[in-house]
Amino acid sequence: MDLILDNPPFILDRDCHYPQLPNDYLIFLARFQKPRTIEKSAYELTQYLEWCERSARDYEKATENDIWDYTATITGGNRTYNGKVDRVCDFYKYAARFGINNPVEALLEPRNLLHRRAEHGRQIRIVSKAALWKFLQGFQVKRDALLAKIFYLTGLRLSELRTLPRTFLDISPSDGVVEYTVTGKGGVRRTLQMGIKQRNEIAEYAKTTTGPFIFSWDGVNPISADTVGKVFRKNATKTGIRVHPHMLRHMYATDRLRALEKEFGGRAGINAALRVLQMELGHKSIETTSIYLHVASQQEASNSLRDYQEQVQKEIECRLKK
């Protein structure tokens, strides 16, 4: 299938065996889009239709699984992937006006399809528990080791933990946990829980610092993201294990999901488990949380977050003593 320069520009070759609809879509776009945009849309649509032809699939009867199969063939970074999927989605939104089945009706946002990409193991990366213990043992500075451990125990983002206010220490624990409110990405506010043991570790470290932030480099400003990144990279070079702060959030999410799944009765309770994890991580969409399904750990874990954190804490201490 070839592209030809015409007026309107960049339409699919009318001699191909596909119906007129793809051409009509591009003509529709030409009413308000620039020629370069029409060219990109025509190119991506051509690639998709050719894939349908090679795999003996009818684009008018495409299913959600057909779209997943197609996205698995897309190469390139997230931006490239996003653009390719976006144009296919837009075509189906247009085609739906004419009674054509829309296989991505519930997934019109490309980022949701990117989550599917993660299920194929091309986005989320974690390390084994043995590698994690080795990485944690590599830190020589108490502050850096504490940051890494809290990332893993709570799933906090880098921006959330490095700006943890000193007022956090004023919160009175209840039933062995400290509940505190975090304003995260996109202004999403959520209430988190931290075991008293972890809270006391932070309080002990805070005695060595001053200012409004617990993790501060000058007693006024919070430790910078660059500084945290540098100490993690330095430790990665030392231990030979590449771990970054956000990976520890991923590891928390996968381990925690398994614990919640067990609490809610196994696979039958996975939706409830995902909803709880969504709140704990501060995700706006459940689709974002669901990317952890494929990497959820198989470890045994306790039901409550407090017990879960205490169990992991004991495991870390045991490993670090060896």
Q: Which residues are catalytically annotated?
A: 157, 185, 246, 249, 283, 292
CA distances from 317 to 166, 176, 245, 320 (A): 25, 19, 20, 5
Task: Return the CA Rg of the chain.
Answer: 25
Residue 299 identity: Q
Asked if 124 and 253 count as a contact pair (C-beta separation under 8 A), the reply is no
Phi, psi values for residue 117, rounded to 5°:
-60, -40
Lookup result for tokens 């609490």: 263
Residue 260 gets the label, from left (phi > 0), alpha (psi -120 to 50) or beta, of: alpha
Query: Whole-angstrom Cα distance, residue 137 to residue 319?
Result: 9
What's 245-299 look like in SS3? HHHHHHHHHHHHHHHHHHHCCHHHHHHHHHHHHHHHHCCCCHHHHHHHHHHCCCC
Asked if 260 and 277 count as a contact pair (C-beta separation under 8 A), the reply is yes
What's 81-131 look like in SS3? HHHHHHHHHHHHHHHHHHCCCCCCCCCCCHHHHHHHHHHCCCCCCCCCHHH
Instruction: Name the maximum alpha-carbon separation found in the chain.
Output: 77
Cα–Cα–Cα angle for 203, 207, 210, rounded to 5 degrees: 110
Query: Whole-angstrom Cα distance, residue 45 to residue 42?
Result: 5
Lookup result for tokens 């928390």: 252
Which of 75, 39, 230 has the alpha carbon at shortest distance from 144?
230
